[in-house]
Structure 1
Amino acid sequence: LGQPVYFQTPEVVGVHLSGDLPEGTTATDLTLRITEMLREAKVVGKFVEFYGEGAAKLSLADRATVANMAPEYGATMGFFPVDEKSLDYLRLTGRDEAQIERVKSYYQAQGMFGIPLKGQIDYSVNLELDISTIVPCVSGPKRPQDRIEVPALKTRFNSLLEMPTAEGGFGIAKEDLRKKVRVKEPVAAGGRDEPSGGLSNLSGDGAIPMNEAEMVTNRPATPSRSLPKDPAQLPEITHGQVLIAAITSCTNTSNPSVMIAAGLVARKAREKGLKVNELVKTSLGPGSRVVTDYLEETDLQKDLDALGFNLVGYGCTTCIGNSGPLDPAIEAAIKEGNVVGASVLSGNRNFEARVHGALKASFLMSPPLVVAYALAGTVNIDLSNDAIGTGSDGQPVYLKDIWPSNEEIETLVLSGLKPEMFCKKYGDLDAANPEWNAIQSSTGDIYGWDEESTYIQSPPFFEGFSMQSGEIGALDDLRPLAIAGDSITTDHISPAGAIKEDGPAGRHLNEKGVEKKDFNSFGSRRGNDRIMTRGTFANVRFKNKMADGKEGGYTKLMPEGTPMDIFDAAQEYKKRGTGLIVIAGEDYGMGSSRDWAAKGTALLGVKAVVAKSFERIHRSNLIGMGVLPFQFPEGFSDESLGLTGEETFSLLGLSEGIQPGQTVTMAIVSPDGSQQTVDLTLRIDTDIEIEYYRHGGILQYVLRDILSES
């Protein structure tokens, strides 16, 4: 939009790294430990700089793995200074020496070349981490910071099964802990493709082309299978069953060491005669096409293919919710038995229902561990002691039997990764994708909106637009749309993944004549506000305290107390001219910087969000859409105030003279007429954000600015 990024001068947290990564551990293990550590240190809104001899020893790919998880540990950025290893990476990716020398000279002239040692730089806060203490680990099942060491996963998962949902568990009754549910029909590898066709044949080798609908939903074609004579031959699903195993995300698949390690685990598993359970939907979705080149150069792609980790495309797949559906028989069994199915992925985020709406547990881990857990077929296992499976010789196979050494990994990285691969793939981006270039598009200065389109519609953000900005005033008699707890992510708020047929968005598509098989995903329809607004707060795991324990996009229309979908309630409040408010706990808006988390909130008619704390990006986005964020004082929450959702809320003292961070009184009126007040902090942090809010949002501000100049 041509606007500078405004933010308060941040604290800089220095993380001193010492030691060396131990044999058998990966950059992913280090990253998950750092994510856990920095979440505990509360680095939201802060810069994090890694320094020390341990940082200097890490490869640039390992450093990038750590730095790219900054949104997950809450920082504005994670930073490793430029040094000789940075220049080595430029050489590896095909840059010429003159360009590399220019980079070095620039940073030297700025006094910024090289990674500082302890004591050379003063930081706002110093943290210590000895990376020689890192061990193989995973994170989950609902947040990236909830790290679990591999030997402890079995015990932790079983404790979570019985733990009440209000405490972060799954609330499974003791008598149901060992429940098994048999699928009613044959399954086709969880819904993944077979060698006969699908995205694994993007190179054109497949005999059966994939149609458009299959490609956009990331569900490859699956040949039908005949029912076996004995239904007892059909597989059973239990708690902890791995149903999705995905080597995915920009962070881990951009690191050659962990990708080579995954290929080596697959190779050694094949040599032992191990196979992936038929219930597991496997996929390989790297962020770069160079990954395919070096996996083929090292002959590891065929080993991954043999275990079902076929290429499904390049870019955001399972990590962002584009996992595609599971086999219908599997989904039916999960629902029938209330089974806590699991996904294992090498992604950044595992928030509730992000990966797949039917799976309640998602664990982040390194690519080689993804392969290992896919082979085991369950997360209810201690991979340090329990056998993964039985080899072709009838002997048990353990993780140590198929885990590659650091030397094996490094040897193949050095032989398989070459500068010419980067030059060939990215030297001429205009010609890199002929299929994309062949797509017909509209021309002209004005876009021709199609009123019948269910994919893209003229956005409503400028309806009633004029050159006159609005006036800031009190927000009175707001009704709560939702009262939520801690760690509400942008995945809870913003539409993502599959569209449910029985939800407001699904019903809207049905009314437009779209069949369920063509619903596609919210992500594919993000250009249509009619779909996206109907999906806001509609995550199947969203817990609104006003919905009497029912998970999903539900609330009560007040003052009647009528249960209904959040979208439908918002529409009724709009007819009544009633403004809305959302009440929440800690870390509201954590996760991806989904713009629709703020857009959908605004279009539902929400005027303010009051939370115990906000994640940086979502707080900023709310203001950018004309929604005011407020923060409770320490010790206050919906619970301490005894809120039920029946109250009305007024935010007093808002006027044209508001200031960043000022105190605003919230008056709360209960149905019996009793009142209480609480002083909130207005989380407008800069003067420019006041202007954005006055104009109704950043879009209106920018348009008025452009028109006034012209």
Structure 2
Amino acid sequence: MRVRELKGFAVPKDSQSKVVDFSFHGKPAKLKHGDVVIAAITSCTNTSNPSVMLGAALVAKKACQLGLEVKPWVKTSLAPGSGVVKKYLDKSGLQKYLNHLGFHIVGYGCTTCIGNSGDLDESVASAISENDIVAAAVLSGNRNFEGRVHPLTRANYLASPPLVVAYALAGTVDIDFTREPLGMSKDGKDIFFRDIWPSNEEVSDVVQSSVLPEMFKVTYEAITKGNPMWNQLSVPSGTLYSWDPTSTYIHEPPYFKDMTMSPPGPHGVKDAYCLLNFGDSITTDHISPAGSIHRDSPAAKYLLEHGVDRRDFNSYGSRRGNDEVMTRGTFANIRIVNKLLKGEVGPKTIHVPTGEKLSVFDVAMRYKSEGYDTIILAGAEYGSGSSRDWAAKGPMLLGVKAVIAKSFERIHRSNLVGMGIIPLCFKAGEDAETLGLTGYERFSIDLPSSVSEIRPGQDVIVVTDNGKSFICTIRFDTEVELAYFDHGGILPYVIRNLINAKQ
């Protein structure tokens, strides 16, 4: 990203060169658009390649030898997917250079790439939020959707592990590595990217000498042995799981509550309110709960009410077994743009009958308590990104009955069907705006009472309370998906079939 471009960030031209002075632990510091505040070597994918991991370590070694440093406010971390990485980094003698630049091993598994980077230093967070700085994160993860890496890093870039180290040293993504120096050496000379980049031969040599078959054998043999803490867990006997009603991590979900052996049949939508009105490219990371639990969120309120201290909130990922937490975190992404808020960004929406602006969860629960269905309006590519199960489970538990969009990401569409949510597509050339829909209407979709009367891909009429009507294509694409819909979703469909098979 070059500051003169700032693609998609809507930074006014007269603010693009803004420099913010702040104090970091008592020392003067500066922050500008494009500056890196998170640099993470992470992901189970990229860290499984010894060449790039040892390449990153060689970059760190050359940088250290030349006297380059990472700015202290850049949050650095190394989270390999496997303990083997530590073995060959230690064997090579290169881990100490990564450590010197701040890339200490913080764990093995999902960290920054799923939003678990932890908080930024308060002084850095304040400098960003109070001055509307477009701060950057550079990581070797798999996804960089808005709000996924960290709520305060609006610019998120994927890079190889060696490049993550290089950008951390540069301290900005607003740099041309071919022409501009990364920093200065101990003797005051400009150091360029080419000065710290290892040759293919250097990388190959250290791979040959440090990555040994025995490392993999020893590491993966230990998987079946567990560890003392795991092995000492008390396991209750019996065939049914004993739910602990006091647990804030594992909660009995309501998917099978009041389930009968007879399928409920298709459901239509009657006088539904629009819970959210979106534009294009709403990703599963906008929808699904991920990362840290914000202190002012409905999920935080729930945990506090259940005696959990703020320091023990942990993350949505660690609490994904509790539907009460996860439902409250659905659509809680602070970068989400809901047209009902008329330009305001954040995880709130409008309770249409009263005009109140509340959290998405609170509005959804109010509609449910009042006996109203809800729908979602969306643009193109709704549900793009990773196929996160909670991106469909969450809306279902919020009471969403249908999503009307220009188009769906393939897997997310099928996940919606699996949760009993009706996916509908506007006709070509039409969307909410061309049809004059504001999201303040009430929507009805009349479907036959028997699934045998519904065909995959058939047209249906959507009617609003202000007299508008338009045709949509119902995106049940196969007969099997119609069977899921008949049963109220894939989970009750599977349970009923399992029970019937044993009778």
What TM-score does the superposition give when structure 2 sets the normalisation length? 0.95
CA distance in 2, matches of 1:428, 1:562: 55
Of the three residues 14, 19, 24, the one matched with 1:180 is 19
Decide which moves more: 684-693 or 368-377. 684-693
Of the three residues 461, 464, 472, the one matched with 1:665 is 461
Task: Tell me by how many angstroms 1:533 deviates.
Answer: 0.8
- The letter of the residue matching 1:175 is D
Residue 163 of structure 2 aligns to a residue whose secondary structure is helix
Q: Is the 8 A contact 2:377 2:439 kept in 1?
A: no
User: What is residue 675 of structure 1 aligned with on the other side?
Assistant: 468
- The letter of the residue matching 1:170 is F
Q: Is the 8 A contact 1:612 1:631 kept in 2?
A: yes
Pick closer, same or farther for the CA change 1:382–1:442 going to 2, 3 Å. Answer: farther
Residue 704 of structure 1 aligns to a residue whose secondary structure is helix
Task: Tell me by how many angstroms 1:435 deviates.
Answer: 4.0
Pick closer, same or farther for the CA change 1:493–1:283 going to 2, 3 Å. Answer: same
The question of 1:171 aligning with 2:10 is answered: yes
CA distance in 2, matches of 1:533, 1:570: 10
CA distance in 2, matches of 1:338, 1:516: 26
Quote the sequence identity (%): 52
Aligned pairs (5 A) from 1:296-335: 296-335=90-129
Gaps of 5+ in 2: none
The question of 1:590 aligning with 2:429 is answered: no
User: What is residue 56 of structure 2 aligned with on the other side?
Assistant: 262
The question of 1:401 aligning with 2:192 is answered: no
Q: Is the 8 A contact 2:265 2:488 kept in 1?
A: no
* 1:102-137 alpha-carbon deviations (Å, 9 max, x no partner): xxxxxxxxxxxxxxxxxxxxxxxxxxxxxxxxxxxx
The question of 1:704 aligning with 2:496 is answered: yes
Residue 445 of structure 2 aligns to a residue whose secondary structure is strand
CA distance in 1, matches of 2:9, 2:232: 48
Of the three residues 497, 510, 516, the one matched with 2:304 is 510
User: What is residue 694 of structure 1 aligned with on the other side?
Assistant: 486
Task: Tell me by how many angstroms 1:442 deviates.
Answer: 4.0
Residue 183 of structure 1 aligns to a residue whose secondary structure is strand
User: What is residue 70 of structure 2 aligned with on the other side?
Assistant: 276
Pick closer, same or farther for the CA change 1:360–1:441 going to 2, 3 Å. Answer: farther
Pick closer, same or farther for the CA change 1:468–1:567 going to 2, 3 Å. Answer: same
Q: Is the 8 A contact 1:390 1:396 kept in 2?
A: yes
Task: Tell me by how many angstroms 1:181 deviates.
Answer: 2.9
CA distance in 2, matches of 1:599, 1:632: 23
What TM-score does the superposition give when structure 1 sets the normalisation length? 0.68
Task: Tell me by how many angstroms 1:254 deviates.
Answer: 1.2
* 1:428-483 alpha-carbon deviations (Å, 9 max, x no partner): 42125444334444443233323222222111111111111112143222211111
CA distance in 2, matches of 1:389, 1:439: 51
User: What is residue 572 of structure 1 aligned with on the other side?
Assistant: 366
User: What is residue 121 of structure 1 aligned with on the other side?
Assistant: none
Q: Is the 8 A contact 2:283 2:382 kept in 1?
A: yes
Q: Is the 8 A contact 1:425 1:432 kept in 2?
A: no
The question of 1:635 aligning with 2:429 is answered: yes
Q: Is the 8 A contact 1:537 1:552 kept in 2?
A: no
CA distance in 2, matches of 1:432, 1:269: 38
CA distance in 1, matches of 2:238, 2:385: 37
* 1:140-192 alpha-carbon deviations (Å, 9 max, x no partner): xxxxxxxxxxxxx32xx4322xx6xxxxx222233332333333451xxxxxx
CA distance in 2, matches of 1:681, 1:471: 20
- The letter of the residue matching 2:132 is N
Aligned pairs (5 A) from 1:452-531: 452-531=246-325
CA distance in 1, matches of 2:84, 2:49: 11
Pick closer, same or farther for the CA change 1:235–1:288 going to 2, 3 Å. Answer: same
User: What is residue 5 of structure 2 aligned with on the other side?
Assistant: 159
* 1:188-215 alpha-carbon deviations (Å, 9 max, x no partner): xxxxxxxxxxxxxxxxxxxxxxxxxxxx
Q: Is the 8 A contact 1:654 1:664 kept in 2?
A: no
Q: Is the 8 A contact 2:374 2:402 kept in 1?
A: yes
Pick closer, same or farther for the CA change 1:305–1:297 going to 2, 3 Å. Answer: same
Residue 391 of structure 2 aligns to a residue whose secondary structure is helix
User: What is residue 189 of structure 1 aligned with on the other side?
Assistant: none
Residue 106 of structure 2 aligns to a residue whose secondary structure is coil
Residue 426 of structure 1 aligns to a residue whose secondary structure is helix
Task: Tell me by how many angstroms 1:390 deviates.
Answer: 0.4
Q: Is the 8 A contact 2:274 2:439 kept in 1?
A: yes
Task: Tell me by how many angstroms 1:653 deviates.
Answer: 4.0
- The letter of the residue matching 2:378 is A
Task: Tell me by how many angstroms 1:574 deviates.
Answer: 0.8
CA distance in 2, matches of 1:432, 1:471: 46
Q: Is the 8 A contact 1:536 1:600 kept in 2?
A: yes
Task: Tell me by how many angstroms 1:676 deviates.
Answer: 2.8
Aligned pairs (5 A) from 1:219-230: 228=26
Residue 4 of structure 2 aligns to a residue whose secondary structure is helix
User: What is residue 220 of structure 1 aligned with on the other side?
Assistant: none
CA distance in 2, matches of 1:676, 1:559: 21
* 1:647-702 alpha-carbon deviations (Å, 9 max, x no partner): 122223444221222222222333xxx3231x222211221111111111111111
CA distance in 2, matches of 1:239, 1:407: 37
- The letter of the residue matching 2:244 is D
Of the three residues 357, 362, 365, the one matched with 2:159 is 365
* 1:45-82 alpha-carbon deviations (Å, 9 max, x no partner): xxxxxxxxxxxxxxxxxxxxxxxxxxxxxxxxxxxxxx
Residue 525 of structure 1 aligns to a residue whose secondary structure is coil
Residue 325 of structure 2 aligns to a residue whose secondary structure is helix
Pick closer, same or farther for the CA change 1:650–1:241 going to 2, 3 Å. Answer: same
Gaps of 5+ in 1: 1-152, 164-168, 187-227
Task: Tell me by how many angstroms 1:311 deviates.
Answer: 0.7
CA distance in 1, matches of 2:229, 2:65: 38
User: What is residue 684 of structure 1 aligned with on the other side?
Assistant: 476
- The letter of the residue matching 1:658 is I
CA distance in 2, matches of 1:413, 1:260: 7
Decide which moves more: 526-535 or 552-561. 552-561
Of the three residues 332, 338, 352, the one matched with 2:146 is 352
CA distance in 1, matches of 2:180, 2:227: 46
Pick closer, same or farther for the CA change 1:473–1:335 going to 2, 3 Å. Answer: closer
Task: Tell me by how many angstroms 1:354 deviates.
Answer: 0.5
Of the three residues 338, 343, 348, the one matched with 1:544 is 338
Residue 353 of structure 1 aligns to a residue whose secondary structure is coil
Q: Is the 8 A contact 2:401 2:422 kept in 1?
A: yes
- The letter of the residue matching 1:174 is K
CA distance in 2, matches of 1:422, 1:435: 23
